[in-house]
Structure 1
């Protein structure tokens, strides 16, 4: 039996990283500093409201991110601080530097293997939006203003 789910990306989508994106631009990109600074980032109110609305409709709330698994505790603390309950958190493995499209293709398979059918998704990265649409997700919302 599967459960319908709403899928939300974190950085640039649910997590408002607009004030720290400078840390990952240019030749001196520092992802460690970026992820550490994300602990103090606010939510995007519009996406947070969409998440609450999806939960109200009975959808499972699934989160995914290109963050490495070593940032899991920081991520869970951030979610708790913002009152965001979730039914699944899918993350990149540590030291996995493959392109986001490759990693998230695998995460999408993991989500399905866990009995969840993504019926809507919120994402800021154009390539990942295309990936979700190609995978047959019926309602994909591209969030403006992310790093990608």
Structure 2
């Protein structure tokens, strides 16, 4: 098993502060994820992904975005030069809270990887990583 670092997308790699208001409108997820393609990165988090890669660690993108938005997500990662060894996403029609989705994803990750750190902005997901013994870096902005 190879050591790896987990990176969330929205609010962590991708600075979505300018589009969070879209989540309050009808058709919110489609509008939000479509608009996210134009959001800037959190440069320090993208830098951390590059540092992890340079240190020989796996870089795992773990998002609670629906797999329906895989093309948007992959395009954003490519546009901003985010390295990744694998990307996990929420299954289509999965309505569970983000932390439950990521708990299920973590079980699959652990079949091939040993998570040694995680970057996230969501307090519930950060609590999950802590509960699972994975050190974290909190990216500010969840409440903004």
Q: Check the 8 A contact 1:23/1:34 in 2, yes or no.
A: yes
Aligned partner of 1:125 among 84, 107, 122: 122
Post-superposition shift, 1:29? 6.8
Post-superposition shift, 1:77? 1.1
Q: Check the 8 A contact 2:8/2:61 in 1, yes or no.
A: yes
Aligned partner of 1:106 among 93, 99, 104: 104
Deviations 1:16-53 (A, max 9, x none): 1011001113x757111000001111110111111111
Gaps of 5+ in 2: none
1: CA distance between counterparts of 2:127 and 2:27? 25
1: CA distance between counterparts of 2:43 and 2:77? 14
Post-superposition shift, 1:85? 2.2
Gaps of 5+ in 1: none
In the comparison of the two structures, how many residue pairs are matched?
144
TM-score normalised by L of structure 1: 0.92
Q: Over aligned residue pairs, what C-alpha RMSD do you find?
A: 1.5
TM-score normalised by L of structure 2: 0.94
Q: Could you list the runs of 4 or more consecutive aligned residues of structure 1 that deviate by over 2 angstroms after TM superposition? A: none
Q: Which residue of 1 aligns with 2:37?
A: 39
Q: Which residue of 1 aligns with 2:94?
A: 96
1: CA distance between counterparts of 2:79 and 2:27? 27
Q: Which residue of 1 aligns with 2:142?
A: 146
